[in-house]
Amino acid sequence: MDQQGTLRWQYEQDMWKHPVVLILIIKIFYAICMGLGAFLFALCALDGDVMEGLKMFVIVGLGIGTLMAVLALMAWGLMSLARGGKYCFEFEMNEKMVVHHATQQEKNRRRTILGLLFFLSPQRSLSTAALAMTPVSMATSYDEVKTIEAVREHDLIKVNGTLDRNQVYAAPEQYDFVWNYIVSRCPQAKILTKRKVG
């Protein structure tokens, strides 16, 4: 804790044991592909060709969704190997908000990856834009929090607002303190818990 009362800590995540970000990415890919598949199905069904609509739904929703998930899994594996299986986060929390930062080391790696993508990728603009838009910092004000969810098996506290989805990590010995600190400052938030696996 500093003199202003802000608490700071770092959390090093084992990317192999806790692939929370990978799971989130796969869910996003599937949601996009399934939504697009459903839209194409609806268009075909309106034209009276339900079978063609089903075909488009299977190809786009399931087929491309699965392909994107496999590519995400491969990219995650390569990234995990390059990082030695570790990813380090920095957190700050005070009486008003909780903030999630990438460490300086992660920011430096990010700049390197952005540079490589720009020079090596045939889709430079798309690849670079996708990584550049990934936030390196997220601040969540307590008065905007709608739900708080405990996922203890991943040392994770999900602090969700209307639009933002902040993920706060704390080591097992810190977890209860961080959880109680955030929950006590968000009296209007709905509290969700997940049973510990195993």
Q: Mind listing the pLDDT tens digit for each residue in 102-140?
A: 766 666 665 665 555 555 544 444 444 444 444 567 889
Distance in angstroms (rounded) separating the CA atoms of residues 80 and 83 = 5
Reduced to 3 states, what is the DSSP secondary structure of residue 83? coil
Nearest partner of 33 among 67, 5, 4, judged by Cα: 67
178 and 103 in a common domain: yes
Mark which of 84, 110, 143 sits at the end of a domain: 84
Question: What value, to the nearest 5°, has the Cα angle with vertex 138 and ends 137 and 141?
Answer: 145
CATH number of the domain that residue 181 is part of: 2.30.29.30
137 and 194 in a common domain: yes
The answer to whether the pTM exceeds 0.85 is: no
Q: What is the pLDDT along the chain (198 residues), one digit of tens a residue?
A: 888 889 999 888 777 777 766 777 788 888 888 999 999 999 998 888 889 999 999 999 889 888 888 887 887 777 667 667 777 788 999 999 999 887 666 666 656 655 555 555 444 444 444 444 445 678 899 999 999 999 888 889 999 988 788 889 999 999 999 999 999 999 889 998 754 433
136 and 38 in a common domain: no
113 and 39 in a common domain: no
Number of domains in the chain: 2
Would you tell me how many other CB atoms lie within 10 Å of the CB of residue 22?
Answer: 18
Mark which of 84, 114, 137 sits at the end of a domain: 84
Mark which of 65, 84, 103 sits at the end of a domain: 84
Distance in angstroms (rounded) separating the CA atoms of residues 109 and 49 = 49
Provide the residue count of the chain.
198
138 and 75 in a common domain: no
120 and 80 in a common domain: no
21 and 103 in a common domain: no
Domain hosting 179: range is 1-16+87-198
**Residues forming beta bridges with residue 101, ordered by sequence position:** 90, 137
129 and 39 in a common domain: no
The Cα-based distances of 119 to 7, 48, 71, 128, 129 in angstroms read: 40, 47, 20, 10, 13
167 and 76 in a common domain: no
117 and 34 in a common domain: no
